[in-house]
Amino acid sequence: MAYKNKFYVGSISTVLPRKCGIASYNQDMIESMIDDERVYDWGLYSIVRGRLKYPDKTKRHIEYNIRQDNLESWLRAGDSIIKKTKERQRRGILSGYFINHEFGIFGKDHTQDNLIPVLRRLHENGVPTITIFHTILANPDRQKREVTEGIIRYTDKIICLSPSGLKTLMEKYQNTPRTKLIFVPHGIPEIYIPETRSELKKRFGLEDRLGNLRIVFTSVGYLSPGKGLEYPIRGFWEVLKRYDKEKIVYLIAGETHPDILEKEGEEYRNSLIELTKKLGINGAIINKKSAVRDLEGRKLRDLKNSNIIFWNKHLTQEELLKVMKMSDVGIVGNLGREQISSGPGAYWIGSSRTTIATESPFFKDLENEGIGLLVRFESSDDFAERMLYYLHLSKEEIEQLEYAASDVGSKRTWDIIGKIKLNLMQKIVRHKAHLKNGD
């Protein structure tokens, strides 16, 4: 073969600048692979709603824009993949495709999934595929069960982002070949942040009236009702009654999820602000282009008297990692009882920070590795108890928690995870081309 040690890598996924956690994951994954000498070239089949303006470095790799809610668009994309795969194969270039699957981005409002007929065509035409499951449901409805079992049937390999997800597929879904499943953890970005935690806190203004740095609890990511932030807010209110409130602050950083914003506007964010006001907590709002204001809309000179800060901004990856490095504790209130993946959770590990999170399978798996503090779902009392527990830890105990996160995070950086996935794809494309080791 002309390029026997090289192959083309494709991806079917949402793609940045679409504001979506899967799109961020996809970019990290692709960037972790493209400089490998085995990659002949790479391309993106981008799942879109509306128009996207891609940066130049991405634009030339867009093979096809798939209209999310349109089955015909999906089928045309499948035909494009098959045609281009065969064209490359005639030139001696093998191809393989990664698929980032999450219910909701393969059809309209979780009511359909357009991937199955496409995946069936790819399978019938010998196109190698690896599907990454970002959600695995232990108790799915009929439609989601059929979708999951269909993907398992027609893809060559399933990547589970947590051990619990792999176990669920084996126990809850029929005819799941163990040989198709592999656990590969969520990758963690490596971006060097030169500023110290203290320097970042000072720059953000997180000091008390005497100039002492405050302890920072932080929630990050796109806001939506599924984030369950009303529970840590109520828990933090209990903490404020039992701890020196000048020494602590809760930062909620991130803009509202675009799909939620389109349907409901800022209803959820406003409900959190109203809850904060109702509880009598001093708060601040930092919007994208306006000055810092209190919860009634009055301008504030600084954040010194604010115990909850709502920062309404889309955070770049670098900004996100700066916020995490600045923080002492990550707070995750997600209500998804079957959540097997968490981008923020992976990032908190990479930032070596202690995390207080609801007991989803993803965070239960982390606790089994000695990382994080779990709380029950919808339990403000649990959040309060865990926050107070952290506040009374010694410096040495905190360092031990952070070291545990750092130790695991060092084994999950994208340079490591990307190579694992690329090795896996290489084996599959060579196997389907009937090539053996040494050929």
Is 219:332 a contact under the CB 8 Å cutoff?
A: yes
Q: Work out the average pLDDT over 326-346.
A: 91
Q: Which domains does the chain have, with CATH numbers?
A: 7-187+413-432 (3.40.50.2000), 197-409 (3.40.50.2000)
Is 198:206 a contact under the CB 8 Å cutoff?
A: no
Q: Work out the average pLDDT over 411-439.
A: 88
Question: Over 344-372, what HEC string results?
Answer: HHHHHHHCCCEEEEECCHHHHHHHHCCCC
pLDDT digits (tens, 9 = 90+) for 212-233: 999 999 999 999 999 999 999 9
More confident residue, 291 or 195: 195
pLDDT digits (tens, 9 = 90+) for 5-39: 789 999 999 999 998 889 999 999 999 999 999 99
Q: Work out the average pLDDT over 319-323.
A: 94
pLDDT digits (tens, 9 = 90+) for 363-409: 998 888 888 899 999 999 999 999 999 999 999 999 999 999 999 88
Residue 438 has pLDDT above 60, yes or no: no
Q: Work out the average pLDDT over 267-274.
A: 97
Q: C-alpha angle 186/140/107, rounded to 5°?
A: 75
Residue 1 has pLDDT above 60, yes or no: no
What local confidence, expressed as pLDDT, does residue 289 receive?
63
Residue 437 has pLDDT above 70, yes or no: no
CA–CA gap between residue 159 and residue 363 (Å, rounded): 18
Q: Work out the average pLDDT over 52-73.
A: 95
